[in-house]
Chain A
């Protein structure tokens, strides 16, 4: 009946935490149940039993039954907060995968440009980082075997990272109610041995890497007219932009991360770089989230290959 598959070390830790807390629940709840039953039977009305000196207050008792369980629970709080921080700090070498959710499907795009729908194949033993956004309403990517879940919001990037360590095929769900077909917006999460994963990847059609597709879009949309290094400097240069510090027109500083690049494309006048006029047209409604992700992927590699691209 109980079917608990663990696909990562984190999952095992969560189960351990839950089990340990379950024991505490049993002790705390059990003692109350036993006492209530014992009192209800021993002191039931009509029964001859000593009821002398029944207390009706005791400050020390009150303090101890408030503080002691709380301290016990506090220990659990610390452990769980530490785990929570870990799942929010992806290692730098994590394999990036882009995720776009829309009513009612998941689209996963591997760095090499291979894309899949409602299925996510990943290699075991390798940290994987999902950068996710939604095309319409709020969704939530939930992989029970990893004990992980993250809401996927429209207009915003959220992250989830994990290292699966047990090959197998697991459930993948949408956990945030998203409309009519919410219940079928899911599929499979497939963790594979690295070799098998490489073979699977090779067998998938790819129209070039995500960044290459981004470069194509960059040309099609004519971004280069302003952003190319040769262009009369009407717009900030993009090479080396990713993860650099940008000074905005209103004097604030921001780090040019994925979210910043996304917003700069879709909502350019929100954060105008210092020294430039707010002349860039908005691309909201012109391109979808998937295209935005490709452009972001392209700008990302402009860091490593400055100047020349393709």
Chain B
């Protein structure tokens, strides 16, 4: 596809600065997106402390903890990978980004199996067998859990695609710029940080 381009920048360095700023502003927007979800979760928790704590126990803590470890590790790989790209060690950066993408996929697999278990238990809203909850609060907790983790999972998928794409291009002669890799890294860190908030609020509030 050929789109007529009007390059607005006089030099590349300026353009890279703009790319970075654009990413940061976008992440601020994303932070508000999840901020709203987190605020809603905290509000629901104040209305229904008992139901919230009781239902939290139905989540698979081990899976949540494993996923936290997976995401934190992948973030570490990404951070090192961004550093490697800066030093022009592109093969290493590629390996690290690919590793992070694989960990992202691992996260999704764990999350998916959790969803499957919850689906079979009838905890999932809208589909499948529906069980009676002890109280409306319990049901609401599960609903909020699916919304929050579902939206996060969508972001993980986007992140995995970005990481994999970045790794793929790092392999060849036209690697993405330092700032470009850094931006992908920043996005992945945001995905990670959001999980770091969701995990204690949902899994650990028992």
Contact = CB atoms under 8 A, between A and B. Distances in A.
Interface in B125-157: 134-137
A271 B137 CA distance: 11
A270 interface: yes
Interface in B70-99: none
Nearest to A278: B134
Contacts of A244: none
B51 interface: yes
Contact of B135 (A248, A249, A269): A269
Chain A binding surface, main DSSP class: loop
A274 to B, nearest CB: 12
A271 B47 CA distance: 10
Nearest to A248: B50
A171 interface: no
Contacts of B137: 267, 269-270
B135 A267 contact: yes
Contacts of B118: none
Contacts of A271: 50
Chain B contact-residue range equals under 10
Contact of A282 (B48, B51, B135): B135
A284 B50 contact: no
**On chain A, which size bracket covers the interface?**
10 to 19
A118 B135 CA distance: 34
Contacts of A252: 49
Nearest to B136: A267
A250 B135 contact: no
A272 interface: yes
Which of B50, B51, B137 is the most central at the interface, judged by chain A CB atoms within 10 Å of its CB? B50
Contacts of B134: 269, 278
Interface string B46-65: 00111101000000000000
Given A269-B137, A272-B50, 19 more contacts: A248-B50, A250-B49, A250-B53, A252-B49, A267-B135, A267-B136, A267-B137, A269-B50, A269-B51, A269-B134, A269-B135, A270-B48, A270-B50, A270-B51, A270-B136, A270-B137, A271-B50, A282-B135, A284-B136
